[in-house]
Structure 1
Amino acid sequence: MDTMPDWQDSDLKEQPRRSRPNENHLLINAFAPRDASPLVSLARRIAESGCNVVEARLATLGQEVCAQMLAQGSWDAIAKLESALARMEREDGTRMVYFRTALREAQGNALPYIVEVTAADKPGVLYQLAEFFEHHGVSIENMSCSRYRAAQTGADVFSAQFTVGIPVDTHIAGLRDDFLEFCDGLNLDAILDPMKF
């Protein structure tokens, strides 16, 4: 069996990795009134530009719909998409923010956990929760918060769900104790559990 000479093998190993043609990314935020959701129009322009959607989120906040998408494509496809988004902003009146970015690197040193919090609504709850996690070196990966009126009592209620990344060298039981003590001090009902896949 033929084998590759040592000099050829070493030359191949030392060659720099070439970037793939589809490794260009555009992060897009589009805002429009609820009766004119930007989802279909935005997804169509991404497809027509020859790009793919890597990640997408949609939320209705107040009277506005916010669509967030991460598009991937070749350099010229992303440039074509940027032009299409500028036209969409001019012609449809959609408010847009977009810029080039890169994929997030995998976090091999963090454990995914779910946090759920419910409490009587009062100013500063979200700030205090975010500050707690930042102080403990815990990254917030995803978050959803809302305020609603309890059907039985009519009281205003704050509700939040977080996906967080806890560093692997963190003492989980200690962090959980600190978090629950913190929540007790603010009269928050909360859980901190590992994410189940």
Structure 2
Amino acid sequence: GILSDIATLVSESDCNILDSRHAIYGQEFSLTMIIEGTHNAITRIELSIPEMCQRRDLLSILKRTREHTKQNLTHLYDVEFNGVDNPGQIQAITRFFADQQVSISAFRQTTSVDDETGHKMMRFKLVVNIPDDVAMPEFRYNLNLLCQVLHLTSNIIDKHKG
């Protein structure tokens, strides 16, 4: 598949994949990766990936970056919100996390219509990395206050505890 072809190109170019994320959105494949190598090796991969993508009818965007700093993902949490879908909820929730210096690494929202009430319902799930210096009891309390204002329920699950 596509990942195997890209991994082969990276290896043949004398580079290493430091980090990557991929997803399928509908019928579309998305891949983000951080590759390391010498200047010449990076140049080789910059030339070979677009060629391979063109053969597979894919769009490629390449960008040189500075040295990669590995993320500390020791405090990963799933955070789920449920309730009637109203404008501004996602904005308020993502602003809350940004204000707390909590990084969002995944984001998914689904909507449906409640058969009984006819209301448009929303389910919104995040994967977040909460820094060491965030006091969890206070964080949970403030998140619950926000959810009350937004008329949502929430659940926080530590991914390392299950």
Which structure is larger by alpha-carbon Rg, 1 or 2? 1
Corresponding residue for 2:79? Answer: 116
| Pair 1:67 & 2:31 matched | yes
CA contact (8 A) 2:104 2:126 kept: no
CA 1:186–1:165 in structure 2 vs 1: closer, same or farther (change >3 Å)?
Answer: same
CA separation of 1:142 and 1:85: change in aligned 2, threshold 3 A: same
**Which sections of structure 2, spanning at least 5 residues, go unmatched?**
none
**1:14-25 alignment to 2 at 5 Å?**
none
Is 2:123 aligned against 1:158?
Answer: yes
Q: Percent identity?
A: 18
Report how far residue 180 of structure 1 moved: 0.9
1:146 to 109, 113, 124: 109
Instruction: After superposition, give the CA deviation of every residue in 1:78-101 in whole Å (9 maximum; x if it has no partner).
Output: 110001023224433311112122
Q: What's the counterpart of residue 33 of structure 1? A: none
**Letter aligned with residue 146 of structure 2:** F
Q: Distance in 1 between matches of 2:51 and 2:76?
A: 41
Aligned-pair CA distance for 1:71: 1.5
Length-normalised TM-score, structure 1: 0.65
Any unmatched runs of 5+ in structure 1? 1-36
2:61 is aligned to 97
Letter of the structure 2 residue corresponding to residue 144 of structure 1: F
Check whether the contact 1:115–1:164 (CA below 8 A) recurs between aligned residues. Answer: no
- Is 2:20–2:34's contact at 8 Å kept on the other side of the alignment? yes
Tell me which of 87, 93, 97 is aligned to 1:129: 93
Q: Is the 8 A contact 2:78 2:159 kept in 1?
A: no
1:142–1:106 Cα change, 3 Å: closer
SS of structure 1 residue aligned to 2:143: helix
| Count of aligned positions | 157
AA aligned opposite 2:24: T
Of residues 184-193 and 110-119 in structure 1, the stretch that sits farther from structure 2 once superposed is 110-119
The equivalent position to 2:3 in structure 1, one of 34, 39, 42, is 39
Counterpart-to-counterpart distance in 2, 1:105 and 1:39:
22
- More strand as a share of residues: 1
